[in-house]
Amino acid sequence: MTHKQLALTDWEFRACGEEKWFPAVVPGTVHTDLLRNGLIPKPFYGKNEHELQWIDKKDWEYRTILQLDEDWQSLTVTELNFAGLDTYADVYVNNVHALSADNMFLAWTVDVKGLMRAGENEILVKFRSAVKEDLPKLEHLGYDLPAPNDQSELGGLQEQRISVFARKAPYHYGWDWGPRFLTSGIWREAVLSGRDAAAIADVYIRQDEVKQASARVTAIVEVDTPETWAGTLRITAEGQEWNREVTLEPDKGTVELELVINQPRLWWCNGLGAPELTSFRAELLENGAAVAGAEVKTGLREIKLIRKPDAKGASFKFELNGVPVFAKGANHIPNDSFITEVTEERYRHEIASAAASNMNMLRVWGGGFYEEEDFYRLCDEYGLLVWQDFMFACSMYPGDEAFLANVQKEAAYNVKRLRNHPCIALWCGNNEIDSAWAQFEENKGWGWKEKLSAEIRETLWTAYEDIFHRILPEAVAAHHPGMEYWPSSPLRELTNDIDQHAVRIAGDGDVHYWGVWHGIEAFENYNVKVGRFMSEYGFQSFPELKSVLTYAEEKDMELESEVMLAHQKNGRGNQIIKEYMDIYLPEPKDFRSFLYLSQILQAEAMRMAIESHRRNKPYCMGTLYWQMNDCWPVASWAGMDYYGRWKALQYTARRSFKDVLLSVEAMDGEKLQVHAVSDLREALAAELVVRLHDFSGAVLKEWKQPVQLEADSSAVVFAVPMAELLGGSGADQVVLVASLLVDGALVERKEHYFAEAKELKLEQPALTVAEVPGSGGLSFTVSSDVLARGVYLTAEQEGIFSDNFFDLLPGEEKTVQFLRRGGVTAGAEAGGSAEAAASARLEAGGNDGARAGVEAAATGAGVVNGAKAGATGAGVMNGANAGAGAPDFTPAVPQGLEVRSMADYVK
């Protein structure tokens, strides 16, 4: 029994029609290969994006030469496997056409038994320009399909928006946070495989019923055998073994075997328990010896989307193993414009950052791609639920037979590829298309259909229903039974009438609220614009100075410079930031100060939104801000920039997503309320201390009272009339501090100001940093002589602080640690492009208590998580599951530590 496999990694490339070949990296893209060979400038620097649009107008070809020994000729099956081809490609084996590909999101396999020979063999892959391939489709269609994020003008195509015709990552055509780089290339691994025996092609562990007492699952094993085969299928897991005698006919077939595991180790999301993973091994036995085998790892859990009618509409909440989950997280976009530049270490940093930020869910947004295996594996290991969009966003799509057949194959392939991952909580058809089109309500949505004839409208809606109401839900039902399908985000409910579209906030479905930012509404509207599940909302900021300097020079340091506008993809985005800053914050003294204040502004907006959503629990049961990450260095909605550097938003999210939250709300200027929100699964007895301070730190008023936080609850725990609270104090001269203590230890604290930051009378603080005795320099305190707002710590190494962008009252000390990003050598810096970022890739390993370590270093935050961990395992951050290696965030002595505050950046 012989199985052979040869990874194809030695490639070269050139533009079709040219003579010279250049070395290529596979997996890779033509852009990164051109960059490595010095043939183009750094794509992300300055305005270079604009100068590189010629690349997608050319055809490109890749070739490899491989030597095969005589053994290959004796094998019954020889197959060439491409896990990903981007996008329109023809494959030739020894000058014979073997395969045509037309979908980036599919794997491609072709039988090459009759084409390969002993000795030298050539494999040639020709990539046709997506632009040249799809322009004729638009011309043939005769009318434009809505695709507002397609930056066709930048690509030299004027208004010819062709992104909808290719099954290719939509963001490659540009988005309102990303550049236009239409890549080509062999973007996932290429392998030649051969065998003369049966092989296990797929193992699916269908979870039929999972309870604490037992888990009933079915192992569905897909076997590919070149000839009739008889033997035993054996499944092993958790020290148990199951067997079935089988006879298999030639070609592919499936065998099912029911399994029962008593007292299963359940998979929980971050905050509810440990994300236990269970390995299942399938083997084909012949005369007692294994001739083929495969292993999959999954988590045993029951995940449901509960949409139950109530007095206010209908709920929209996830339930894991019978426990309601308040979803806390963000929207994930691709980590790079050039997908193959994203290493496992970069994925690990993102997922570890999400877990350390107390998140339990990421939404894989529909304008990117079905993510790499590393992403989902890490979400499994760190306990992050995944809301998974299919790859359709903000566009209307063709409905011809070939396009629909392509989508059908894509859906089946990707559902099957991802279905064993316990992190998958939901399959969603698309991003924003139902509400943008608004079929059943005129003059709503984005104004698309009103520009079209009745005939075209009917054609496009029929295509929409074919894809999102038939093909995609059928794929989920067939290949991932029991998993919920949601047709579009946002959506109220699939009613086929005016109540279907989420064009306004209602009492059902999920909501994308963009009144703040796109609608230029006040931040305070976050307090009233609350739906059942807030799956998008956001506010922009710039990355930090170190990141900006990777794409700009000193002469570019102006808000409206050509380079700053080239790295702002949302039209008036830079001016919108300034307009909001003028409302809420003091005037920055220069552009570098503007960068810092933009992050303070963004963080404050998101704090208000998150707190409002959590206060409204259980009416609202989810908050996913836009967005977690960036695909290039840019001003955007991200909380973590392209280089993985945490913005103020990321620290604010970590504080706002803690299991126990205090939120202070001023009710119409008449009354002040303190809300306590708990995501704990057990009640918590605590003491609430509310103090009113002047800016010298003096306590003007104080209240103390016991509070009982019920499990999984939100409640007002303190209220006082504003007149009584302030007395004769000026609103611009005092701050309220609410603290929650458990057994005398600080669990949560929140400051509340009575005037906007620009109206506060702040003095220049003298900030003092002192090493904590006995810490070896790993812990230090920060203190101030006067009120210091937005205290900002920086270090030369790549990493995060246990807390940052915090306020300090005079006389207080804040204990902080610097946590070096896993595996990074001191002083390592990321560069200004995909190439430079690759040179500074960061070695990472197991989580080793990322969240617990970060929380414990923050003021008192580890108390609740520590207590909870003892009861539910929530405080254990999957160190064993995440694998061996360096911790994600390692305490280190910060080199070049600098401490500033808002006063250093304002006039």
Asked if residue 262 lies in contact with residue 300, where contact means CB atoms within 8 angstroms, the answer is no
Degrees, nearest 5: CA angle 507-511-515: 110
The pLDDT of residue 47 is 98
694-718 burial: b if 16+ Cβ within 10 Å, else e:
bbebeebbeeeeebebeebbbeebb
Q: What is the mean pLDDT of residues 21-41?
A: 98
The pLDDT of residue 698 is 94
Element (H, E) at 372: none
Element (H, E) at 88: strand 88-93
Q: What is the mean pLDDT of residues 403-416?
A: 98
Phi, psi of 715 (to 5 degrees): -155, 155
Degrees, nearest 5: CA angle 117-118-120: 85
Cα–Cα distances (Å) from 507 to 558, 620, 682, in that order, read 44, 9, 28
Q: In which residue are the tokens 């704090």 written? A: 607
The pLDDT of residue 251 is 87
**762 or 490, which is more confident:** 490
Structure token pair of residue 100: 């045509």
CA distance 464 to 501: 14
Query: Per-residue pLDDT tens for 581-596?
Result: 999 999 999 999 999 9
Query: Per-residue pLDDT tens for 772-796?
Result: 999 999 999 999 999 999 999 999 9
CA distance 190 to 83: 6
The pLDDT of residue 863 is 28
Whether the predicted pLDDT of 846 surpasses 60 = no
CA distance 95 to 93: 5
785-799 burial: b if 16+ Cβ within 10 Å, else e:
bbbbbbbbbbbebbb
171-209 burial: b if 16+ Cβ within 10 Å, else e:
bbbbbbbbbbbbbbbbbbebbbbbbebbbbbbbbbbbee
Structure token pair of residue 549: 């300097």
Degrees, nearest 5: CA angle 863-867-868: 115
Whether the predicted pLDDT of 855 surpasses 50 = no
Query: Per-residue pLDDT tens for 295-320?
Result: 999 999 999 999 999 999 999 999 99
Q: What is the mean pLDDT of residues 617-636?
A: 98
Q: What is the mean pLDDT of residues 115-138?
A: 97
* E strands, 497-545, in order: 511-512, 534-536
Q: What is the mean pLDDT of residues 824-837?
A: 37
Quote the crossing angle between the two packed helices 401-418 and 472-479, to the nearest 10°. Answer: 30
Whether the predicted pLDDT of 849 surpasses 60 = no
For 519, residues 6+ apart whose C-beta sits below 8 A from its C-beta are: none
CA distance 643 to 547: 7
Query: Which is it for the CA torsion 806, 810, 815, 817, positive or negative?
Result: positive
CA distance 347 to 746: 33
Asked if residue 627 lies in contact with residue 333, where contact means CB atoms within 8 angstroms, the answer is yes
Write down the number of H helices and E strands in the chain: 19, 49
CA distance 480 to 535: 23
Find the radius of gyration of the CA atoms of the chain: 28
How would residue 886 be classed by pLDDT, with cut points 50, 70 and 90?
Answer: low
Degrees, nearest 5: CA angle 563-555-600: 70
The Cα diameter of the chain in Å comes to 94
Q: What is the mean pLDDT of residues 609-628?
A: 98
How would residue 728 be classed by pLDDT, with cut points 50, 70 and 90?
Answer: confident
Terminal Cα distance for the chain, rounded: 77
Parallel, antiparallel or unpaired: strands 534-536 and 511-512: parallel
The pLDDT of residue 362 is 98
CA distance 495 to 502: 12
Query: Per-residue pLDDT tens for 164-186?
Result: 999 999 999 999 999 999 999 99
Q: Which three-class secondary structure string do you get for 796-845?
A: CCCEEECCCCEEECCCCEEEEEEEEECCCCCCCCCCCCHHHHHHCCCCCC
For 39, residues 6+ apart whose C-beta sits below 8 A from its C-beta are: 22
Query: Which is it for the CA torsion 840, 15, 102, 163, positive or negative?
Result: positive
877-896 burial: b if 16+ Cβ within 10 Å, else e:
bbbebbbebbbbbbbbbbee
* E strands, 657-778, in order: 660-667, 671-678, 684-694, 699-709, 713-721, 734-742, 745-753, 767-771
Query: Per-residue pLDDT tens for 212-232?
Result: 999 999 999 999 999 999 999
Among 621, 601, 625, which residue's Cα sits nearest to residue 613? 621
Asked if residue 375 lies in contact with residue 346, where contact means CB atoms within 8 angstroms, the answer is no
Query: Per-residue pLDDT tens for 675-723?
Result: 999 999 999 999 999 999 999 999 999 999 999 999 999 999 999 999 9
Structure token pair of residue 604: 């404050």
Among 544, 480, 485, 489, which residue's Cα sits nearest to residue 512? 489
Q: How far is CA 484 from the centre of its chain?
A: 20
Name the percent of the chain lying above pLDDT 70: 93
Q: What pTM, to 2 d.p., does this model score?
A: 0.93
Name the percent of the chain lying above pLDDT 90: 91
Peptide bond into 146 cis (omega under 30): no
Among 457, 436, 350, which residue's Cα sits nearest to residue 392? 436
